[in-house]
Amino acid sequence: MKKQNNIKVAIVMGSSSDLPVMIEAAKILKQFGIESKIDVISAHRTPKRMFDFATGADKKGYKVIIAGAGGAAHLPGMIASATTLPVIGVPIKSSNSIDGWDSILSILQMPNGVPVATVALNAAQNAGIIAAQIIALSDKAVAKKIVQHKADLEKKVMNSLKEIDKVKI
Protein backbone atom coordinates (compact mmCIF):
# COMPACT_ATOMS: atom_id res chain seq x y z
CA MET A 1 0.00 0.00 0.00
CA LYS A 2 1.34 3.46 -0.98
CA LYS A 3 2.04 5.85 1.90
CA GLN A 4 -0.44 8.72 1.58
CA ASN A 5 2.14 11.45 2.36
CA ASN A 6 4.26 10.45 -0.66
CA ILE A 7 1.39 11.44 -2.92
CA LYS A 8 1.60 15.14 -3.65
CA VAL A 9 -1.17 15.53 -6.23
CA ALA A 10 -4.85 14.74 -5.77
CA ILE A 11 -6.89 14.29 -8.95
CA VAL A 12 -10.60 14.54 -8.22
CA MET A 13 -13.59 14.51 -10.55
CA GLY A 14 -17.32 14.95 -10.25
CA SER A 15 -18.21 11.56 -11.71
CA SER A 16 -16.55 8.34 -12.82
CA SER A 17 -17.77 9.34 -16.31
CA ASP A 18 -15.03 12.04 -16.20
CA LEU A 19 -12.27 9.43 -15.87
CA PRO A 20 -11.41 9.02 -19.60
CA VAL A 21 -10.48 12.74 -19.64
CA MET A 22 -8.94 13.01 -16.16
CA ILE A 23 -6.72 9.92 -16.48
CA GLU A 24 -4.48 12.00 -18.78
CA ALA A 25 -3.42 14.11 -15.79
CA ALA A 26 -2.31 10.99 -13.90
CA LYS A 27 -0.46 9.66 -16.98
CA ILE A 28 1.64 12.77 -17.54
CA LEU A 29 2.35 13.09 -13.80
CA LYS A 30 3.62 9.51 -13.84
CA GLN A 31 5.94 10.43 -16.73
CA PHE A 32 7.38 13.16 -14.49
CA GLY A 33 7.82 10.63 -11.68
CA ILE A 34 4.99 12.08 -9.59
CA GLU A 35 2.46 9.87 -7.85
CA SER A 36 -1.16 10.98 -7.77
CA LYS A 37 -4.37 9.77 -6.19
CA ILE A 38 -7.57 9.67 -8.22
CA ASP A 39 -10.94 10.06 -6.50
CA VAL A 40 -14.56 10.76 -7.40
CA ILE A 41 -16.02 13.59 -5.34
CA SER A 42 -19.18 15.37 -6.41
CA ALA A 43 -19.99 18.91 -5.28
CA HIS A 44 -23.68 18.23 -5.86
CA ARG A 45 -24.10 14.55 -5.01
CA THR A 46 -21.58 14.21 -2.13
CA PRO A 47 -21.21 17.74 -0.71
CA LYS A 48 -20.06 16.63 2.75
CA ARG A 49 -17.40 14.35 1.25
CA MET A 50 -16.23 17.26 -0.92
CA PHE A 51 -15.94 19.59 2.08
CA ASP A 52 -14.11 16.96 4.16
CA PHE A 53 -11.67 16.36 1.31
CA ALA A 54 -11.02 20.06 0.70
CA THR A 55 -10.47 20.93 4.36
CA GLY A 56 -8.24 17.89 5.00
CA ALA A 57 -6.18 17.84 1.78
CA ASP A 58 -3.21 19.84 3.10
CA LYS A 59 -2.93 17.67 6.23
CA LYS A 60 -2.79 14.60 3.99
CA GLY A 61 0.35 16.03 2.38
CA TYR A 62 -1.09 17.08 -0.97
CA LYS A 63 0.60 20.10 -2.57
CA VAL A 64 -1.74 20.58 -5.54
CA ILE A 65 -5.31 19.58 -6.34
CA ILE A 66 -6.49 18.94 -9.89
CA ALA A 67 -10.30 19.00 -10.06
CA GLY A 68 -12.36 18.21 -13.16
CA ALA A 69 -16.09 18.46 -13.73
CA GLY A 70 -18.61 18.99 -16.50
CA GLY A 71 -21.83 20.94 -16.99
CA ALA A 72 -22.64 23.00 -13.89
CA ALA A 73 -19.05 22.37 -12.84
CA HIS A 74 -18.88 23.61 -9.26
CA LEU A 75 -16.35 21.10 -7.89
CA PRO A 76 -13.07 23.00 -8.54
CA GLY A 77 -14.42 26.31 -7.24
CA MET A 78 -16.01 24.80 -4.14
CA ILE A 79 -12.80 22.92 -3.31
CA ALA A 80 -10.82 26.16 -3.81
CA SER A 81 -13.17 27.88 -1.36
CA ALA A 82 -12.25 25.43 1.42
CA THR A 83 -8.48 24.88 0.97
CA THR A 84 -5.31 26.97 0.85
CA LEU A 85 -3.76 24.58 -1.71
CA PRO A 86 -3.58 25.62 -5.37
CA VAL A 87 -6.48 24.20 -7.38
CA ILE A 88 -6.22 23.51 -11.11
CA GLY A 89 -9.60 23.16 -12.80
CA VAL A 90 -10.34 20.98 -15.82
CA PRO A 91 -13.59 21.80 -17.62
CA ILE A 92 -15.06 18.64 -19.13
CA LYS A 93 -17.47 18.31 -22.03
CA SER A 94 -19.80 15.81 -20.36
CA SER A 95 -23.20 14.24 -21.05
CA ASN A 96 -24.91 17.16 -19.29
CA SER A 97 -22.86 19.87 -21.06
CA ILE A 98 -24.60 22.02 -23.64
CA ASP A 99 -21.42 22.57 -25.64
CA GLY A 100 -18.58 22.68 -23.09
CA TRP A 101 -18.76 26.44 -22.56
CA ASP A 102 -20.99 25.80 -19.55
CA SER A 103 -18.21 23.75 -17.92
CA ILE A 104 -15.50 26.27 -18.88
CA LEU A 105 -17.33 29.30 -17.55
CA SER A 106 -18.44 27.52 -14.34
CA ILE A 107 -14.79 26.83 -13.50
CA LEU A 108 -13.15 29.93 -15.01
CA GLN A 109 -15.31 32.79 -13.76
CA MET A 110 -14.41 32.62 -10.08
CA PRO A 111 -14.84 35.70 -7.88
CA ASN A 112 -11.77 37.71 -6.80
CA GLY A 113 -10.02 36.08 -3.87
CA VAL A 114 -10.80 32.45 -4.77
CA PRO A 115 -8.84 31.51 -7.92
CA VAL A 116 -9.03 28.28 -9.88
CA ALA A 117 -6.23 27.94 -12.46
CA THR A 118 -8.39 26.80 -15.38
CA VAL A 119 -7.05 24.85 -18.35
CA ALA A 120 -8.71 24.35 -21.75
CA LEU A 121 -11.72 22.07 -22.29
CA ASN A 122 -10.77 18.44 -21.54
CA ALA A 123 -7.11 19.51 -21.15
CA ALA A 124 -6.28 17.29 -18.17
CA GLN A 125 -2.77 16.68 -19.51
CA ASN A 126 -2.01 20.39 -19.24
CA ALA A 127 -3.39 20.38 -15.68
CA GLY A 128 -0.92 17.59 -14.90
CA ILE A 129 1.93 19.61 -16.40
CA ILE A 130 1.08 22.68 -14.30
CA ALA A 131 0.90 20.50 -11.18
CA ALA A 132 4.32 19.06 -12.05
CA GLN A 133 5.72 22.58 -12.55
CA ILE A 134 4.49 23.52 -9.07
CA ILE A 135 6.07 20.39 -7.56
CA ALA A 136 9.27 21.12 -9.54
CA LEU A 137 9.79 24.36 -7.60
CA SER A 138 10.94 22.26 -4.64
CA ASP A 139 12.00 19.03 -6.38
CA LYS A 140 15.11 19.06 -8.57
CA ALA A 141 14.44 15.63 -10.13
CA VAL A 142 11.01 16.76 -11.35
CA ALA A 143 12.47 20.09 -12.53
CA LYS A 144 14.96 18.17 -14.69
CA LYS A 145 12.13 16.16 -16.24
CA ILE A 146 10.23 19.38 -17.07
CA VAL A 147 13.32 20.72 -18.87
CA GLN A 148 13.50 17.43 -20.83
CA HIS A 149 9.78 17.70 -21.64
CA LYS A 150 10.36 21.13 -23.20
CA ALA A 151 13.31 19.80 -25.20
CA ASP A 152 11.16 16.86 -26.43
CA LEU A 153 8.47 19.26 -27.62
CA GLU A 154 11.02 21.22 -29.62
CA LYS A 155 12.53 18.05 -31.07
CA LYS A 156 9.09 16.87 -32.19
CA VAL A 157 8.45 20.09 -34.10
CA MET A 158 11.94 20.03 -35.70
CA ASN A 159 11.41 16.41 -36.79
CA SER A 160 8.04 17.30 -38.28
CA LEU A 161 9.80 20.01 -40.33
CA LYS A 162 12.15 17.34 -41.75
CA GLU A 163 9.06 15.41 -42.90
CA ILE A 164 7.60 18.53 -44.51
CA ASP A 165 10.88 19.06 -46.39
CA LYS A 166 10.46 15.59 -47.95
CA VAL A 167 7.04 16.47 -49.41
CA LYS A 168 7.27 17.07 -53.14
CA ILE A 169 5.02 19.84 -54.41
CA distance 74 to 108: 10
By C-beta, is 8 or 93 nearer to ligand RP5? 93
Cβ distance 99 to 76 under 8 Å?
no
x/- letters, 55..94, toward ligand RP5 (CB under 6 A): --------------xxx--------------------x-x
User: H helices of the chain, where?
Assistant: 19-31, 47-56, 75-81, 101-108, 124-136, 140-166
By C-beta, is 67 or 142 nearer to ligand RP5? 67
x/- letters, 9..38, toward ligand RP5 (CB under 6 A): ----xxx-xx--------------------
Is 68 in a helix, a strand, or coil? strand
Our finding on whether 124 is near ligand RP5 (CB under 6 A) is no
Dihedral of the CA atoms 66, 67, 69, 73 (nearest 10)? Answer: -130
By C-beta, is 72 or 143 nearer to ligand RP5? 72
Q: Which residues bind ligand RP5 (CB under 6 A)?
A: 13-15, 17-18, 42, 69-71, 92, 94-96
